[in-house]
Amino acid sequence: MAETIEEKCLSKGVKLTEQRRIIAKVISESKEAYGESDHPDVDELYNRVSKIDPKISIATVYRTVKLFEEAGILIKHDFKAGKARYEINDDHNHLIDIKSGEIIEFVDEEIEKLQKKIAEKYGYTLVDHKLELYGVKKKPQ
């Protein structure tokens, strides 16, 4: 990872508090600690944060996560509406197993280029994109 969330906060002028540091830490560590396809929702984030400091309220988690999003540090996903998930903004796509819910991250140069081309075609400059593929695992043959 290029820069920690804390460093990004500094460069974006986001004030750091003890709570925000803890929340940032939990988000940064979420993948390593919980496996490859770990995309915790706010409630789960709150659970993990609570183990470090049980006095942090869920309102603070919501506020912090929204703050980080507005600073461009995190991106918000609504894979299935009703529960938002946040992760570090590093611009990959998702392949979601509709049976198990497993989430695979991928990047693809070619698709990236194609998207830019399509936006151009309609007279737009691409500023963001969201690509989610939904699939079922093929039987090994």
Partner DNA sequence: TTATTTGCAAACGGTTTGCCGATTA
Partner DNA sequence: TAATCGGCAAACCGTTTGCAAATAA
Using CB atoms within 10 A of its CB, is residue 65 exposed (0-12), middle (13-18) or buried (19+)?
buried
Cα(141)–Cα(138) distance, integer angstroms: 9
Residues that bind a copy of itself (CB under 8 A): 76, 78, 81, 84, 95, 97-98, 104, 106, 108, 110-111, 114-115, 118-120, 122-138, 140
List 1, 35, 51, 55, residue binding DNA (CB under 7 A): 55
**Site size with DNA, rule: CB under 7 A:** 26
3-state SS assignment for residue 24:
helix
Residue 130 interacts, among DNA, a copy of itself, none and using kind-specific CB cut-offs from 5 to 8 Å, with: a copy of itself
CB of 116 vs a copy of itself, minimal distance in Å: 9
The dihedral over CA atoms of 42, 97, 104, 138, expressed in degrees to the nearest 10, equals 170
List 25, 28, 38, 66, residue binding DNA (CB under 7 A): 66
According to the binding rule CB under 7 A, does residue 30 interact with DNA?
no
Cβ atoms of residues 95 and 103 within 8 Å: yes
Residue 41 interacts, among a copy of itself, DNA, none and using kind-specific CB cut-offs from 5 to 8 Å, with: DNA
Which token pair is 34?
A: 């919980």
Strand 93-97 and strand 103-106: the pairing is antiparallel
Residue 138 interacts, among a copy of itself, DNA, none and using kind-specific CB cut-offs from 5 to 8 Å, with: a copy of itself
3-state SS assignment for residue 123:
coil
Cα(15)–Cα(34) distance, integer angstroms: 28
List 28, 37, 47, 60, residue binding DNA (CB under 7 A): 60
List contacts with DNA (CB under 7 A): 14-20, 41-43, 53, 55-60, 62-64, 66-67, 81-84
